[in-house]
A = this chain, B = another copy of it.
């Protein structure tokens, strides 16, 4: 029988687990100091909760779970499979953490004190075509604050991003935009209905250049006049504040645009006051997740590594509206653990000591020293030292090879003479140095080395 796992899924070996946990723990510790509270939602949601929330393409990517028992009963299979699927599957696997969170807030509104800050680190599933860096099961690390429209929330998200990547040792730029500015631009050129087309095209500016963006805008149904009217946007220059001042003038008669500029001016001055270490950039080409963002939009890019965004988020004014609870403003970010993993890997920036199994291996000399060794193991474990007592009285060579293969930094010998003297001999595997100590000093020795 051949052993394999489904395409797009992964097994994680201990060393990968240690590295992933290093990322999760870092993110979690920052979420906690900003007083976010953890929640979890079920992996399985009713399909009715998920369907229609991620667009037509998203619906196709939902993993659907077959009803148990006789799922075929009363179902007409002479229909298109799109029609049959929801009749034989009532439940599906979570596609992201945002829609389940909206459902959670509405369902538990009476138990929640607003403003509410929650974080959630859980896997999500998408029936995407697997490719490098894209998986069918992957973790999202989300933090959202809801029930408060204050821009202090946006500020704190930037501070959290800054702190997470400081702690991980990754230099980043936080790109910020505002959906109201994008809407203002669409208004400015008299094409409010073309907001999406304009931002999708602008988003490609870096990749395809101005001429191609113009061609694409034309294809998307903008008139030459409208395209020319966009020129002042492409010609904005200077610092974030200077660009915002230029936009303010362009938006003289466009209230939405002005509101967006004002929000960004406030946010940038707040950010200036707290002096983050990361770079901050106003990026008017940033348009991610446009479907539900209504204010600030964030995206984080790592320096020195060519990879997509490693964190993103934004303000949404009506996410719970889809579940019948309108007017709850929220803002959140999502860290992409898998991409952060790839970045740390490429930068060779994981701490060296991650993924050690045992800190010390106690050599098994056989039954006569067994109780003595068990006593030492108990002492070390009491000091939270990861301790392995080799389970068989195998040949010394085999036990030493095991320690070296597993990268265990210390080996402890307690043979006849050590037992007689109440001592143990510790070998530092890196230096080869050996030290013999009374057993009550072994833990301290191993902890301070």
Contacts and interface: CB of A to CB of B under 8 A. Distances in A.
A42 B11 contact: yes
B60 A39 contact: no
B5 A148 contact: no
Highest count of chain B CB atoms <10 Å: which of A3, A68, A156, A386: A3
Which of A5, A32, A77, A91 has the largest count of B CB atoms less than 10 A from its CB? A5
A143 to B, nearest CB: 13
Name, among A43, A104, A108, A156, the residue most crowded by chain B CB atoms within 10 Å (CB to CB): A43
A182 to B, nearest CB: 25
A147 to B, nearest CB: 9
Contacts of A388: 34-35, 117
A11 B387 contact: no
A291 interface: no
Contacts of A335: none
Contacts of A90: 6
Contacts of A150: 391-392
How would you classify the secondary structure of chain A's contact residues: helix, strand, loop or mixed?
mixed
Given A3-B106, A11-B104, A72 B77 contact: yes
Query: Which range holds the interface residue count of chain A?
Result: 35 or more
Contacts of A355: 37
A171 to B, nearest CB: 20
A103 interface: yes
Given A3-B106, A84-B72, A273-B371, A113 B405 contact: yes
Contacts of A115: 391-392
Interface string A140-176: 0000010010101101100100010000000000000
A274 interface: yes
A45 B6 CA distance: 6
A341 interface: no
B40 A11 contact: yes
A230 interface: no
A44 B6 contact: yes
Interface centre among A49, A152, A355 (most CB of B within 10 A): A152
A61 B14 CA distance: 30
Interface in A31-76: 32-46, 49, 60-61, 63-66, 68, 70-73
Contact of A63 (B45, B68, B85, B117): B68
Interface string A111-146: 101010110000101010000000011000000010
Give the top 10 A-B pairs by smallest Cβ distance, nearest first: A9-B42, A14-B37, A35-B358, A35-B388, A150-B391, A3-B107, A68-B127, A77-B77, A17-B38, A33-B381
Given A5-B46, A9-B42, A60-B68, 11 more contacts: A6-B91, A11-B41, A12-B40, A18-B38, A35-B386, A44-B137, A66-B85, A113-B406, A117-B357, A117-B388, A163-B381
